[in-house]
Amino acid sequence: MTARRALVTGAGGFIGHHLVNRLKDDGYFVRGVDIKLPQFQDTRADEFLQLDLRVWENNLTAADGMDEVWALAADMGGMGFISAHHAEILHNNALINLHTLEAARQKGVGKLLYTSSACIYPEYLQEGTDVAPLKEADAYPAQPQDAYGWEKLVTERLCMHYRQDYGMDTRIVRFHNIFGPLGTWDGGREKAPAALCRKIAVAKRAANSEIEIWGDGEQTRSFCYIDDCITGLVLLMQSAWQEPINLGQDRMISINELADIIGGIAGLEVAKKHVVGPEGVRGRNSDNTLLREVLNWEPKISLEEGLGRTYEWIEQQVLSTEKVMSYT
């Protein structure tokens, strides 16, 4: 039997790199595409094309001869990045996604998975720390907080219309804060779990206990370990479900609690210095009812276990970089 041929866009990034590994384990022929190579490990993709997917022709090259597209490429980062680059994010991601879908159609690719985000959910449902978990149907009436979320929502609709008008078999997943080793941990695009692991590793090395937290730290989120995320993606692609679906954990904790758990793993009693910074919505959690129904599965790896693996990897990164003394 010939192997299925999968294009993974964003294969140089955190989730894309892990996904390539999983698809290779599953016997796929994989073409990875990204504007950059994976930062921390060599790719296992059969082909890796360094291409800018904002450019139309590059999408035709990327999609040529493929059976499936797993569309992960995006100009993105944590709250610090997303809240400060609205125009750039909307412009770049709209170009990438419009071109990726249309090139897949023109090249006759039958199946496409699009990675959306919990950031599509309306701000008015996320104004307190103790919010109700977000169900898929809560997306409308739409009011995402940032341009990042608006663009994701428009591309969700693009997938729906390509399915209805052209018969493309699409999947749409809404991630809720995915974390784990081999993800960005410094430089401004890192997300809260990686940033806190780095700050705590740096504090520990400096025999200091103080770390900075953006805002009062009472803002809440749920966090999902990368291995569960990849399992969920593969199960979703195998399923027949074509509507948007949450993929995340449904255990909601505050950023202060997250820092305490990581401090416990590091063996450091963390002193929190609360500073002004971008916080995003006040509270957010995933309602996993649909996920359980559709996939007969939900994320299994505990926050403590996932953070243990992540902290260990980030501490190694911190200890092996000379820049360490400049971090706070």
Residues forming contacts to ligand NAD in the complex (CB under 6 A) are 10, 12-16, 34-36, 52-54, 72-76, 92, 96, 115, 117, 175, 177-178, 184, 191
Catalytic site residue from 148, 162, 225, 311: 148
Please state the closest distance from residue 206 (CB atom) to ligand NAD, in A.
Answer: 28
Q: How far is the CB of 236 from ligand NAD (least distance, A)?
A: 13
Q: Give a three-class secondary structure readout of 189-200.
A: CCCHHHHHHHHH
CB of 308 to ligand NAD, least distance (A): 19
Indicate the residue among 43 and 184 with the shorter CB distance to ligand NAD. Answer: 184
Choice between 34 and 186, CB closer to ligand NAD: 34
CB contact at 8 A, 133 and 139: no
- Least Å distance, CB 213 to ligand NAD, is 19
Tell me the one-letter amino acid at 204: K
> Residue 36 or residue 273: which is nearer to ligand NAD going by CB?
36
Cα–Cα dist 268/99, whole Å: 47
Q: Say if residues 221 and 129 touch (Cβ distance below 8 Å).
A: no
Question: Which residue, chain included where needed, has tokens 């199946």?
Answer: 111
Q: Which CB, 117 or 263, lies closer to ligand NAD? A: 117
92 is written with which tokens? 């770049």
Contacts of 131 (CB under 8 A, 6+ apart): 125, 220, 252, 282, 283, 284, 285
In the complex, least distance from residue 184 CB atom to ligand NAD, rounded to whole angstroms: 6
Residue 164 CA from chain centroid, whole number: 27
Active site residue 140: no
Cβ distance to ligand NAD smaller for residue 96 or 291: 96
Query: What is the smallest separation between the CB atom of 151 and ligand NAD, expressed in angstroms?
Result: 9
Residue nearest ligand NAD (C-beta atom): 13
Distance CA 236, CA 214 (A): 35
Is 171 or 204 the residue whose CB approaches ligand NAD more closely? Answer: 171
Q: Token pair for residue 179? A: 């974390």
User: Could you tell me which of 279, 288, 215, 208 has the C-alpha nearest to residue 251?
Assistant: 288
136 CA to centre of own chain: 17
Residue 5: CB atoms within 10 A of its CB come to 17
Measured CA to CA in angstroms, residue 98 lies from 53, 157, 178, 223, 225 at distances of 10, 11, 24, 29, 29
- Sign, CA dihedral 149-154-157-158, equals negative
Angle between helices 226-238 and 14-25 (to 10 degrees): 60
Catalytic residues: 148
